[in-house]
């Protein structure tokens, strides 16, 4: 295993003493936009020795409906530190929990290190199929990997929504003399499986299908692999230049550790971003140097488990905090605290540190509950969120999308399912069925909006049909890769099909 820890950054100054030139470029998946961004990356990533006099060019990919000049003006207003030398791209994080994203400086070295580590872990350099927006890190990395591999990606235009049959056609158009790769969000994978063999068959020839951006339901992974798809789950974020853990195993050069009583994930390696440009306090709290090594302190909780137990499938009872029981003769939580490219061990992410639900004085892990509910055949998608309640403080609320062809999920059997694995406090006391989950950015569930929607649905179940938040004035409408309205625009429309509480009967929403 190669291990190249990230060195500490020196004080940021502009390269050659000149302020960088910020170049806005539309992202999304429109072929002309993607081509322009790809060409700019080919130049930028190759420019390892920029001129000492000409200002460096930093790319700013943005949502395709935004005005580039306005994007740059807004970005400059938010800057609270100089752009570090070597920065190739500035991206904004999704802010799926807080609603506010950070500006992240991504150096050339970090982006290319991630791309090369992916090649080493998978089947080597190959051709990629872009089906996720290029202004988010997953889509941007598809382009970076293409540049590093010296190949041209096939582009699936999802501007009008994601079509699994069009994805199949795009896969059929890929080269056969090099490995083929694809990156999807979980919702896209589910839609491919629902469409049937005509959508699945062309994807079997791909060397790997990366699925990330959000947790993937265990049942969807099982179905995809049973149907011959080489699915690889990924964990990472904008701050790590995209996925840095594949199927629970860190990429070459990446190392993880769990810290504190909450088992918070910290990451080091050459893939780390240069830091946040908009918030010095958050930058100092998140990016820390220790003995000459930079670590990223994430907001995620996790456990390290033997590789045979790393798959998200759950069998047998869990501890109340959502940890799996320790296999073998030991008892209690696993004691492994660090993880590199070690075949016997895997990382299993449990959820965010700050998303615990306090219900009746009991701390409930939404991720642990979601993993169980996702195994129910009637549940296609699920998010567990808190809803303020005068009796319980926060009501554990399951927001679900029903699986096609299945009877609508009912609260009582879902409660029994959770109670059989966790203690009774984890069992949801309310159920909201939606036509779709609100998504944000590259396909992450927008938990903040989902919780607000659930609260309104429980307060007025007979009248609420949809929710739509106010559009931020500096942002524009669009669609995410699953075909929903994107949360980049802070806009969601999701019809409420039904609400149900533990102490009451199902209440159908008016159509």
User: Cβ(186)–Cβ(216) under 8 Å?
Assistant: yes
218 with 88, same domain: the answer is yes
The parent domain of residue 181 ranges over 15-254
The pLDDT score that the predictor gives to residue 507 is: 39
372 with 246, same domain: the answer is no
pTM: 0.78
Residue 425's pLDDT band, with cuts at 50, 70 and 90, is: confident
The pLDDT score that the predictor gives to residue 498 is: 76
CB atoms under 10 Å from CB of 285, counted, come to 11
496 in a structural domain = yes
H or E element in which residue 233 lies: strand 231-237
35 with 152, same domain: the answer is yes
337 in a structural domain = no
Q: Mind listing the pLDDT tens digit for each residue in 300-327?
A: 999 998 886 554 443 333 344 444 433 3
The pLDDT score that the predictor gives to residue 12 is: 37
247 with 374, same domain: the answer is no
- Through-space distance between the first and last CA atoms of the chain, rounded to whole angstroms: 58
Q: Report the share of the chain in percent with pLDDT over 70.
A: 78
Most confident of 222-226, 329-333, 338-342, 418-422: 222-226
The pLDDT score that the predictor gives to residue 422 is: 84
The pLDDT score that the predictor gives to residue 54 is: 62
Q: Tell which of 229, 254, 279 closes a domain.
A: 254
CATH number, domain containing residue 441: 3.30.300.30
> 171: Cβ–Cβ under 8 A, 6 or more apart, which residues?
129, 154, 180, 182, 202, 203, 205, 206
Q: Are strands 362-364 and 357-359 parallel, antiparallel or unpaired?
A: antiparallel
445 in a structural domain = yes
Backbone φ/ψ region at 393: left (φ over 0), alpha (ψ -120 to 50), beta: left
360 with 250, same domain: the answer is no
246 with 363, same domain: the answer is no
> How far, in Å, are 50, 99, 110, 214, 284 from residue 275 at the CA level?
21, 19, 12, 22, 9
154 with 20, same domain: the answer is yes
109 with 232, same domain: the answer is yes
Residue with the bigger pLDDT between 177 and 508: it is: 177
Q: Which of 13-22, 49-58, 69-78, 237-246 has the lowest mean pLDDT?
A: 13-22
Residue with the bigger pLDDT between 75 and 1: it is: 75
58 with 200, same domain: the answer is yes
240 with 374, same domain: the answer is no
Q: Mind listing the pLDDT tens digit for each residue in 93-118?
A: 876 445 568 999 999 999 999 999 99
β-sheet with 242-246: strand ranges across: 154-155, 127-130, 180-184, 208-211, 231-237, 242-246, 249-250
| DSSP secondary structure letter of residue 491 | -
Q: Mind listing the pLDDT tens digit for each residue in 470-495?
A: 222 223 334 444 444 343 333 445 67
Q: Tell which of 232, 254, 276 closes a domain.
A: 254
Nearest to 135 by CA among 430, 496, 488: 488
498 in a structural domain = yes
475 in a structural domain = yes
461 in a structural domain = yes
Q: Mind listing the pLDDT tens digit for each residue in 128-144?
A: 999 999 999 999 999 99
What does the alpha-carbon distance between residue 278 and residue 257 come to, in Å, rounded to a whole number?
27
The pLDDT score that the predictor gives to residue 114 is: 98
Residue with the bigger pLDDT between 440 and 270: it is: 270
- Is a pLDDT exceeding 90 seen at residue 173? yes
Mean pLDDT of the chain: 82
Pair of tokens at residue 224 = 């995809």
- Is a pLDDT exceeding 60 seen at residue 332? no
The pLDDT score that the predictor gives to residue 11 is: 34
The pLDDT score that the predictor gives to residue 344 is: 85
H or E element in which residue 90 lies: strand 87-92
The pLDDT score that the predictor gives to residue 10 is: 35
User: Cβ(505)–Cβ(499) under 8 Å?
Assistant: no
292 in a structural domain = no
CATH number, domain containing residue 233: 3.40.50.12780
Question: What is the pLDDT averaged over residues 86-97?
Answer: 82
- Is a pLDDT exceeding 50 seen at residue 506? no
245 in a structural domain = yes
What does the alpha-carbon distance between residue 119 and residue 251 come to, in Å, rounded to a whole number?
10
Residue with the bigger pLDDT between 4 and 497: it is: 497
52 with 194, same domain: the answer is yes
Q: Which of 17-21, 133-137, 332-336, 347-351 has the lowest mean pLDDT?
A: 332-336
Q: Which of 2-16, 24-38, 286-300, 363-377 has the lowest mean pLDDT?
A: 2-16
The pLDDT score that the predictor gives to residue 33 is: 98
Q: Tell which of 235, 254, 273 closes a domain.
A: 254
Nearest to 322 by CA among 353, 350, 360: 350
The pLDDT score that the predictor gives to residue 393 is: 87
Q: Which of 390-394, 454-458, 507-511 has the lowest mean pLDDT?
A: 507-511
E strand spans, 307-414 = 338-339, 345-352, 357-359, 362-364, 379-389, 393-402
- Is a pLDDT exceeding 90 seen at residue 390? no
Q: How many domains does the chain have?
A: 2
Nearest to 213 by CA among 440, 479, 444: 444
- Is a pLDDT exceeding 70 seen at residue 379? yes
The pLDDT score that the predictor gives to residue 19 is: 61
């Amino acid at each position: 295993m190669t291990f190249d820890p990230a060195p500490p950054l020196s004080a940021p100054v502009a390269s050659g003493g000149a302020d960088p030139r910020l170049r806005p470029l539309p992202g999304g998946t429109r072929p002309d936009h993607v081509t322009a961004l790809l060409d700019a990356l080919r130049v930028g990533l190759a420019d390892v020795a920029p001129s000492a006099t000409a200002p460096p060019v930093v790319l700013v990919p943005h949502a395709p409906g935004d005005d580039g000049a306005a994007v740059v003006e807004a970005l400059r207003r938010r800057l609270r530190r100089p752009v570090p030398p070597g920065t190739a791209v500035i991206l904004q994080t999704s802010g799926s929990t807080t609603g506010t994203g950070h500006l992240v400086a991504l150096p050339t070295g970090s982006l290319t290190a991630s791309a090369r580590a992916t090649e080493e872990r998978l089947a080597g350099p190959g051709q990629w199929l872009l089906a996720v927006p290029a202004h988010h890190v997953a889509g941007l990395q598809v382009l970076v990997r293409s540049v590093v591999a010296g190949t041209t990606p096939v582009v699936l235009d999802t501007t009008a929504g994601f079509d699994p049959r069009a994805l199949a056609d795009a896969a059929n158009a890929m080269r056969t003399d090099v490995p083929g790769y694809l990156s999807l969000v979980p919702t896209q994978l589910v839609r491919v499986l629902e469409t049937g063999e005509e959508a699945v068959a062309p994807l079997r020839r791909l060397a790997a299908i990366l699925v990330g951006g959000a947790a993937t339901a265990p049942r969807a992974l099982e179905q995809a692999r049973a149907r011959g798809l080489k699915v690889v789950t990924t964990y990472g974020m904008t701050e790590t230049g995209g996925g840095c853990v594949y199927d629970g195993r860190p990429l070459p050069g990446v190392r993880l550790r769990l810290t504190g009583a909450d088992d918070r994930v910290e990451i080091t390696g050459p893939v780390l971003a240069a830091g946040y440009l908009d918030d010095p306090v958050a930058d100092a709290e998140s990016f820390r140097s220790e003995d000459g090594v930079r670590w990223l302190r994430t907001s995620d909780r996790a456990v390290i488990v033997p590789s045979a137990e790393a798959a998200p499938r759950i069998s047998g009872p869990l501890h109340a905090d959502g940890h799996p029981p320790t296999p073998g003769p030991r008892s209690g939580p696993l004691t492994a605290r660090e993880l590199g490219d070690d075949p016997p061990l895997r990382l299993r992410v449990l959820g965010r540190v700050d998303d615990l639900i306090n219900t009746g004085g009991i701390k409930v892990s939404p991720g642990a509950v979601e993993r169980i509910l996702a195994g129910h055949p009637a549940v296609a998608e699920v998010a567990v969120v808190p809803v303020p309640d005068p009796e319980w403080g926060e009501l554990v609320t399951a927001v679900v999308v029903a699986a096609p062809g299945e009877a609508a999920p009912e609260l009582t059997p879902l409660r029994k399912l959770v109670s059989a694995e966790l203690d009774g406090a984890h069992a949801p006391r309310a159920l909201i069925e939606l036509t779709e989950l609100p998504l944000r950015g590259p396909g992450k569930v927008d938990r903040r909006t989902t919780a607000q929607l659930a609260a309104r649905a429980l307060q007025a179940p007979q009248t609420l049909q949809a929710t739509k938040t106010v559009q931020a004035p500096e942002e524009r409408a669009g669609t995410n890769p699953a075909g929903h309205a994107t949360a980049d625009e802070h806009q969601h429309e999701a019809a409420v099909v039904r609400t149900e509480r533990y102490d009451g009967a199902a209440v159908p929403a008016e159509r």
